Structure 1
Amino acid sequence: MKSVVLYPGMGVGHLTPMVELAKVFLQHGVAVTVALIEPPTKSPDFSAVVARAAAANPSVTYHVLPPPPPPPPAAPAGSSSDDGSPAHPIFLMFEHLRAMNAPLRDFLGSLPAVDALVIDMFCSAALHVAAELKLPTYYFFASGAGDLAAFLYLSRLSMTDSFPELVGDDSILSLPGVPPLKAWDMPKEITNGTTGAKAILRALDRMPEADGILVNTFESLETRAVRALRDGLCVPDHSTPPVYCIGPLVSGGGGGKDHECLRWLDTQPDNSVVFLSFGSMGTFPKKQLEETAMGLEKSGQRFLWVVRSPREPDAKFGQPLPEPDLDALLPEGFLERTKDRGLVVKSWAPQVDVLRHGATGAFVTHCGWNSTLEGITAGLPLLCWPMYAEQGMNKVFIVEEMKLGVEMKGYNEDVVKAEEVETKVRWVLESKDGQALRKRVEEVKDRAMEALKEGGSSHAAFVEFLKDLAGIKKFS
């Protein structure tokens, strides 16, 4: 039996789709081990996701790597500059990933057989380990083909004098395979020219060295981006490795059967509830929570809203949030006035189960790629409210390229106002245009399901990947 090791890097958003990838390997008769990095700051979110994944997938082996050796005294923790100033969190993440090479090498060397290493987009440091052990190495890109096309091209430009200078939020980037992108829709870490930007682009610049790239998308969703990647337009100075579109890989749900919100949804009419949820890292200040609450109340529509505590400005990466005090965070009397048509849940909800519930009619999302695919495969219109990382880019792709959602205006300003929340929620649930949008998403949902079936484009791509891997092993 063939055997692969998956290496998802750090963060729940990177682990979740890697778990779904593990299931696909199992379906094709390949043994899977997931090598996990525990966050430097202990996180109950991480522990809970690992526990749920292990319980739901007993055929997958999960191995938490031991912590790396301590850094030498000359490199104080949290500092990357001679003046001792704090390092950018992204820089610290890459430092930690580099330090994990030693535990990863020891673990891979202890296994009786490994046919391939599949690494997360940020785990380029692991290429050194794979080269030492002569292991075929593939990237798993958990975001979409549009993000991959843009980042590959930018990473190559960043190594030359041609990297564009983005001046002001309205600066336009024209990149192969994607619609024009404004500076404010790019990850801030890339547009601000910091150490973090260089670290991200340097990591992505190594992707063409891999034996292939698995992408969590399906061809008919992102035709233009996939074509640009395969035509070599995104890596003009290097051959592009094979790109395999094997998605959408999304959770099957079922993890929150007894959650109160599902029982509440059971009592609501079909397609009547707007669901608001902003990912494992998404938080808002009190002012934004108040505006959102006022907009939901004025809309008169049914809603299910996941509220998390605001994150303190000096909070460490991965630091858990306290349980939110809803009475303190939301307008006085809001919960009482809306109790007959709305439900606010603290911190977490079983998102996939909520999205697929018959009562859910629309999804207000931060446009993280996992959530985007979960919304599409549930057949729900997307109200796009990007917050960080590549989510602004995904918003452009969803609204302009895929035409599966609309933008929440003001997301890139100080606050999305109550009037905008009210207007968009009413529009998506009540208007003819909102119903037309729902129909379009339903059609794309059907195409997504077809792609995964035997003979579908994503199933065929995975079979092709396994054949290519067998060829590499045969001649290595």
Structure 2
Amino acid sequence: MKETLVLHPAPGFPQIVSMVELGKQIIQHHPDLSITILVASTPSETSTTSSYIDLISNTNLSISFFSLPSIHPPPPPPPPNQDLHETQQRAALAFQSIRLNVPPVLDALRTISLSFSVLAIITSSNPFSDYDLIHVPIYFYITSCASALSFLLHLPTIYNQTSKSFKELNETLLDIPGLPPIKASQMPQPMLHREDPGYHYFLDLGSRLPKLKGIIVNTFDSLEPHAIKAIADGACFPKGVVPPPLYCVGPLITDAKDRAGTSYDASSECLACRGKFSEAQLERMAYGLEMSNQRFLWVVKSPDQGLITEPDLEVLLPKGFLERTKERALVVKSWAPQNAILRHESVGGAVSYGVPMVAWPLYAEQHLNAVVLVEEMKLAIPIDTATYNSKEGDKEEVLLVSAEEVEKKVRQVMELEEGKVLRERSLDMRVMATAARTKGGSSFTAFSKLLASWK
């Protein structure tokens, strides 16, 4: 019977892409294996997801997709705390969907086992205790970073040390092994309230991970040495818990060839599409970029994510902005080939991804990531926020960054010594990343050990 590995991404297009990249690397190291990827059907599924799956399915790779049946979760109960707003409600619905998908996943594994010998299941979703029923080795794949994993593994310890929520602790600095001091208020938004379903989802996940066969992380040793050591040495785990094997196999990055010539290539969907800026913030960003006198490329998306049409730049941006900056700016509607742009030698800095960065966190674990990027990795400078009284009707005041702050940070990256240091550090890290994936490198070796664990 032919051997296969089953990959089970958490719901969402970015998770599927990351799992495909992991699958490609596994096949590259072990061409005789096949990969079966379980795809959950969710209300938010887009044509982009379908196009991408069709594209990968039509390659010569030994990767196939198994569609799980649709589920229809009931609306989540009203939040126990009125401070929990729409974002947390959406998160609660997502966590509920993940839990309801467990029986279909188990049924899918039983079906696949009729035709294949399943060596292991790798999931980026919550590997609930129900999975033990299938008697197959279970690995967890974290698509974020080792620093986020360190926090997740340490969460049960924090839970037992205090009865307060992170929101109540507010400015208190948390001592998380392998991480720089982080304010409690900088924890991921669904976890700020102790009674939030998201908090208990991640608490359960952090408690479950030590019981698995191994943890795979999309990072490499030179990028996060302190967090990786803390996890490997067991410092993040509750006392007496033996850490499972850790496999740092990154960086895993989407291949540009997977986008060429398909409807996926023309899509306006972005891998970080949930973040958005208000019209008021876009206006301040525009003025800041203009005042910086730097050349720039700016991808502008509509603040209203319900709109299918492209944004009207003449309406969204300050009057005359496009005309005044046309000789040194390229403003693009909705989407641009991100990887190709960031690899271009003319790019001196960005708000995200792989070159000197201005760390501007919006949601999820981005606040934690920003601290790590600035304090630990030394690859970014932070942007300072200030609260403006910008109430519109019944809407609450929103957090905005001033035009002056945008100008200041752009100049820091592009003109000052700080930017030069960041560029040198980014180039060094790029060399280290390449070395990690070559034969004899840390990630190459980790992949070899991972493959050996299935024999």
Q: TM-score, normalised by structure 2?
A: 0.86
Residue 2 of structure 1: how far off its partner (Å)? 3.6
1:110 maps to: 111
Is residue 78 from structure 1 mapped to residue 51 from structure 2 by the alignment? Answer: no
Give yes or no for contact 1:137–1:211 (8 Å, CA) kept in 2: yes
Residue of structure 2 aligned with 1:40, choices 43, 65, 79 = 43
CA shift, 1:433, in A, is 2.7
Q: Report the CA distance between 1:81 and its aligned residue.
A: 5.4
2:350 matches 1:349: no
> Per-residue deviation at 1:355?
0.6
Superposed CA deviations along residues 421-462 of structure 1, whole A, max 9, x for unmatched, are 112112212223312220111111111110100110011011
Stretches of structure 1 that go unaligned for 5 or more consecutive residues are 72-76, 263-276, 313-318, 366-370, 471-476
User: Residue in 2 aligned with 1:90?
Assistant: 91
CA distance in 2, matches of 1:202, 1:81: 21
Contact 1:209–1:241 (CA under 8 A) maintained in structure 2: yes
Structure 1 residue 301 displacement after superposition: 1.0
**Are residues 1:434 and 2:431 paired?**
no
Residue pairs, 1:187-206, within 5 angstroms: 187-193=188-194, 194-206=196-208
Measured on the aligned residues, the alpha-carbon RMSD in Å equals 2.7
Equivalent residues of 2:356, 2:380 under 8 A apart: yes
Q: Is contact 2:14–2:271 with CA below 8 Å preserved after alignment? A: no
Q: Are 2:430 and 1:424 equivalent residues in the alignment?
A: no
Q: Secondary structure at the match of 2:351?
A: strand
Q: 1:183 to 1:82 in 2, by over 3 A?
A: closer
Please say if residues 165 and 193 of structure 2, whose CA atoms lie closer than 8 Å, have aligned partners that are also in contact.
Answer: no
**Alpha-carbon separation, structure 1, partners of 2:202 and 2:182:** 19
C-alpha contact 1:381 1:441 (8 A) present in aligned 2:
yes
Give the secondary-structure state (helix, strand or coil) at the position aligned to 1:115.
strand
Counterpart code for 1:89: R
SS of 1:79's equivalent? coil
Which residue is equivalent to 2:13? 12
Compute the displacement of 1:242 (Å): 0.8
Say if 1:278 and 1:212 are closer, same or farther in 2 by CA, change over 3 A.
Answer: closer
Structure-to-structure mapping, 1:69-468, within 5 angstroms: 77-80=74-77, 88-111=89-112, 112-113=115-116, 114-120=118-124, 122-125=125-128, 127-129=129-131, 131-158=132-159, 160=160, 162=162, 165-166=165-166, 167=168, 169-193=170-194, 194-237=196-239, 238-254=241-257, 279-311=272-304, 322-365=309-352, 371=353, 375=354, 380-410=355-385, 414-468=399-453
Q: 1:439 to 1:258 in 2, by over 3 A?
A: farther
Kindly provide the amino acid, as one letter, of the partner of residue 118 in structure 1: I
For 1:279-327, what per-residue CA distance to the aligned partner results, in whole angstroms no more than 9, with x for missing partners? 2211111000000111111111111112222146xxxxxx775532222
Distance between the aligned counterparts of 1:328 and 1:278, measured in 2? 26
Q: Is the 8 A contact 1:323 1:346 kept in 2?
A: yes
Counterpart code for 2:316: L
How many aligned residue pairs are there?
A: 425
| Post-superposition offset of 1:98 | 1.9
Tell me how far apart the structure 2 counterparts of residues 137 and 396 of structure 1 sit (CA, whole Å).
Answer: 31
Query: Which whole-Å CA distance do the structure 2 matches of 1:6 and 1:78 have between them?
Result: 28
Q: Distance in 2 between matches of 1:297 and 1:51?
A: 42
Question: Against the structure 1 CA distance between its residues 95 and 165, is the aligned structure 2 distance closer, same or farther, given a 3 Å change threshold?
Answer: closer
Cα distance change on mapping 1:22 and 1:249 into 2, 3 Å: same
Q: What SS does the corresponding residue of 2:454 show, helix, strand or coil?
A: helix
> Which stretch has the larger CA shift, 191-200 or 214-223?
191-200
Distance in structure 1 (CA, Å) of the matches to 2:244 and 2:199: 24
Tell me how far 1:41 sits from its aligned partner: 3.1
Distance in 2 between residues matched to 1:51 and 1:334, nearest whole Å: 41
CA distance in 2, matches of 1:303, 1:81: 44
Contact 2:298 2:331 in 1 (8 A): yes
Measured in 1, the distance between the counterparts of 2:135 and 2:375 equals 43
Identity among equivalent pairs (%):
37
SS at 1:117 equivalent: strand
Rounded to whole Å, the distance in 1 between the matches of 2:231 and 2:121 is 22
For residues 110-135 of structure 1, what are the alpha-carbon distances to aligned partners after superposition, in whole Å with 9 as ceiling and x for unaligned? 22221110000x3223x523x22211
**Pairwise CA distance, 1:82:** 10
Per the alignment, residue 266 of structure 1 pairs with none
Partner Cα distance (1:257, 1:42) in 2: 21
Letter in 1 for 2:439: E
In structure 1, C-alpha distance between the alignment counterparts of 2:249 and 2:154, rounded to whole Å? 22
How much does 1:346 deviate? 2.0
Q: Tell me if structure 2 keeps the 8 A contact 1:155–1:204.
A: yes
Amino acid corresponding to residue 345 of structure 1 in structure 2: V
